[in-house]
Structure 1
């Protein structure tokens, strides 16, 4: 492991709140409410196709996602459960939205396959880092930009289905952002894969070669 990684880890540990084992916290309750909203959101999209109500749930999910992170820091209620639950709910909303949109014919299936496949592939590369005792790779700013664009694009694509004065504007901006976000997702995915390949070549797995040592 590069020794330069050690100071960064130490600084992060002192600057950020220390996660606890607490379960009943305000941020965790918000994440749980968001989780319970996923099946309702999917039903509204695929059942009665109540796109207005589905859009409201999607927007509330985005707001509570922002709020639970803020509250976790303000109330010092950072928890290990929250660190797992929050990103899980985020991904669940994204996957549910993409699949539902494709089922409705609002976006092509190849876009859904690219976005979901990229995340599955990168999740598999984490084993490269774990086997070498390394932390996951740092998040790329381009990756954050892609996620931000996707979080705006999906509600706009849904808003374009509604019968209102700005549906055409929502359609234009929503699909333009979706194309841009998809391109950035693929590009940053390739960068993460390249980084994992370099780590696999440069750093031996923990414990590798011990069997060759003489007793």
Structure 2
């Protein structure tokens, strides 16, 4: 199998896991806003976080990386983050300023898309810092959900959840600033050619 055809694969285990994560986004929102089945919503978030880690491991270990995977994997991550912060905001679990910080970073990075397209690039390579930020946020949200309940675990979940949320948001912005550096390097390289 040639490298080009390997990149064009659609039916891979990592892509299936990412697709299943995408299908879970509306289910998650329904669980949070409809029946308020927080236990199931938290379980779904945990499964989503685990499959996010797992699809990357499988893709690298079994050479199943693909062009589609590089699109749907981060798309599923972003949709989960968006759905979760909207659900948490509407349920008054997190403050509006956290939502503004996270969505502001997304808008900031998205503002570079026209510049990238102008220079013939589709998207920037996801780097470790962005993955670390997503890891922190995907742990923060279930913990903040748990913190909104009463029980012996609520205070521990609140402290730990906010630690992950603050680190995750900080890393998310740091990764966004590194994207600026990447865009500048790509543009510089294009001007030299």
- What TM-score, normalized by structure 2, do the two folds share? 0.81
Superposed displacement of residue 172, structure 1:
1.1
* TM-score normalised by L of structure 1: 0.74
Task: In structure 1, list runs of 5 or more residues that go unmatched.
Answer: 1-15, 208-215
In the alignment, the residues of structure 1 paired with residue 15 and residue 116 of structure 2 have an alpha-carbon distance, to the nearest angstrom, of 28
8 Å contact kept, 1:45–1:100? yes
In the TM superposition, what is the alpha-carbon distance from 1:82 to its structure 2 partner?
A: 1.7
For the pair shown, which has the larger CA radius of gyration, 1 or 2?
Answer: 1
Q: Deviations over 1:155-184 (max 9, x none)?
A: 211122344421210011111321233234
Q: Secondary structure at the match of 1:117?
A: helix
Please say if 1:169 is aligned against 2:169: no
- CA displacement at 1:186 relative to structure 2: 3.4
Does 2:92 match 1:105? yes
> 1:107 and 1:116 mapped to 2: Cα distance?
14
After superposition, where does 1:41-52 map in structure 2 within 5 Å?
Answer: 41-52=28-39
CA distance in 2, matches of 1:26, 1:116: 30
Alignment length (residue pairs): 191
Is the contact between residue 52 and residue 162 of structure 1 (CA under 8 Å) also seen in structure 2? no
Q: Which residue of 1 aligns with 2:79?
A: 92
Assess if the C-alpha contact under 8 Å between 1:128 and 1:199 holds in 2.
Answer: no
Deviation at residue 42 of structure 1 after TM alignment: 0.4
Question: Does structure 2 retain, via aligned residues, the 8 Å contact 1:143–1:184?
Answer: yes
Distance 1:86 1:195, change over 3 A: closer
- Aligned pairs for 1:36-185 (under 5 A) are 36-133=23-120, 142-185=129-172
Label 1:117 to 1:164 Cα distance change in 2 as closer, same or farther (>3 A).
Answer: same
CA distance in 2, matches of 1:18, 1:124: 32
Name the structure where helix makes up a greater proportion of residues: 2
